[in-house]
Structure 1
């Protein structure tokens, strides 16, 4: 299950992300601003968004309302210190599926996640992308070259997904680093180049076409 956590408290955000991975076994991305949260939610698929109400930039409650107005059907859990009845109503009316008041125990958040994940949201239709002979299923995160599945590591798939959702645009290496490895990762930018090299080799396959272009001194882009 893919979860996006938007929490500007660095200690709390890091703790939530760590415990959701460790105790829940979820794949988690963590951002600290409202602008990042909205960008991430619209550019990639997440099963659940966990949004702090008060975020720098765009507030979580406004992100929630905006996403719902755009037809977003994924689960959204709001985190907030606001605990009045009016606040709860406003959060739910903005489109949140659940509302958790701070401070809370991580086990309660895990229970809320399990509860909203059991609800019958809109049916998921496979989102397919075709790259010549290569077919990428963004819904179940599989990649096939004709009848053969291309085995990608989680990082390689994240990189491919990011490039696909921004196809035709040059993505700076720093942006790729931030989106895939995150703020706290202790890896060099050379790791990006190595991951691109491995992904490129796997995608070239039988066609021999180089889908990922290197933009010298800047980054990479995907053309198809």
Structure 2
């Protein structure tokens, strides 16, 4: 799962990365304009957003994201602890508000709660689709109870498809989510990795669930019986 941290205090930013890097893929921005640009360009599971930022404050970033119909969960992480600020952030469309200073376990718990609320995580922190269970990119996945090893990229691809199971995702969306806008590869790499992932799932017949949507992308859903 991918998280964007928008925080201008370097020491705190590094500390937050260390708290989260074992469980999540982290990207960072140190000012508001950069944070907004990344949030608009990429697909994140959660955004951790400071309020007081250079160039563009966190409330303005949130307003622009919601105006663009981007419903990614937003967790404000800020020193502004006044009741009016907390209420403002939530009423503008923020999902949670964590006041500095905080401890790592609380930050992780808040993120997990947002992921569960958005349907991206179960109570035991696993991600499931039919007989497929994901427990973190450092852990093996299980398919119908059998351990299957994936590369990090294959894992992130499968994770993204499961997050969006039943929905059509374009090749461009997959590319942005898994490889990132600054990757030196091209969107054609998506087809290659879809092929590899299908091969890994073929012994269990789940390769048929990754269905082509001609001219658009893919959808992960149980195939209809003939």
Q: For 1:58, what is the secondary structure of its paired residue?
A: helix
Q: C-alpha displacement at 1:88, in angstroms? A: 4.6
1:125 — aligned with what?
Answer: 124
Bigger shift: residues 168-177 or 139-148: 139-148
Whole-angstrom CA distance in 1 between matches of 2:203 and 2:188: 24
1:212 and 2:210 are equivalent in the alignment: yes
> Conserved in 2, the CA contact under 8 Å of 1:204 and 1:211?
no
Count of paired positions: 185
TM-score when normalising by structure 2: 0.58
Equivalent of 2:188, from 162, 187, 190? 190
Aligned pairs for 1:45-84 within 5 A: 49-52=47-50, 53-56=58-61, 58=63, 76-78=75-77
TM-score when normalising by structure 1: 0.59
Whole-angstrom CA distance in 2 between matches of 1:177 and 1:163: 12
Equivalent of 2:170, from 169, 172, 192? 172
Aligned pairs for 1:125-144 within 5 A: 125-131=124-130, 134-137=131-134, 142-144=140-142
Q: C-alpha displacement at 1:20, in angstroms? A: 7.4
1:158 — aligned with what?
Answer: 156
Whole-angstrom CA distance in 2 between matches of 1:203 and 1:211: 9
> Conserved in 2, the CA contact under 8 Å of 1:33 and 1:58?
no
Aligned pairs for 1:19-98 within 5 A: 26=21, 27-29=25-27, 32-33=35-36, 44=45, 49-52=47-50, 53-56=58-61, 58=63, 76-78=75-77, 88-92=82-86, 94=90, 95-98=96-99
User: Structure 1: which 5+ runs fail to align?
Assistant: 61-65, 101-111
Q: C-alpha displacement at 1:154, in angstroms? A: 2.1
CA deviations 1:154-194 (Å, max 9, x no partner) are: 22122112212222222111111112222222211121111
Whole-angstrom CA distance in 1 between matches of 2:108 and 2:191: 39
> Conserved in 2, the CA contact under 8 Å of 1:91 and 1:99?
no
> Conserved in 2, the CA contact under 8 Å of 1:78 and 1:91?
no
User: Structure 2: which 5+ runs fail to align?
Assistant: 30-34, 51-57, 66-70, 91-95, 114-121
* Structure-2 change in CA distance of 1:208 and 1:171 (3 Å): closer
* Structure-2 change in CA distance of 1:6 and 1:92 (3 Å): same
Q: For 1:197, what is the secondary structure of its paired residue?
A: helix
Q: For 2:156, what is the secondary structure of its paired residue?
A: helix
Whole-angstrom CA distance in 2 between matches of 1:172 and 1:160: 14
> Conserved in 2, the CA contact under 8 Å of 1:78 and 1:96?
yes
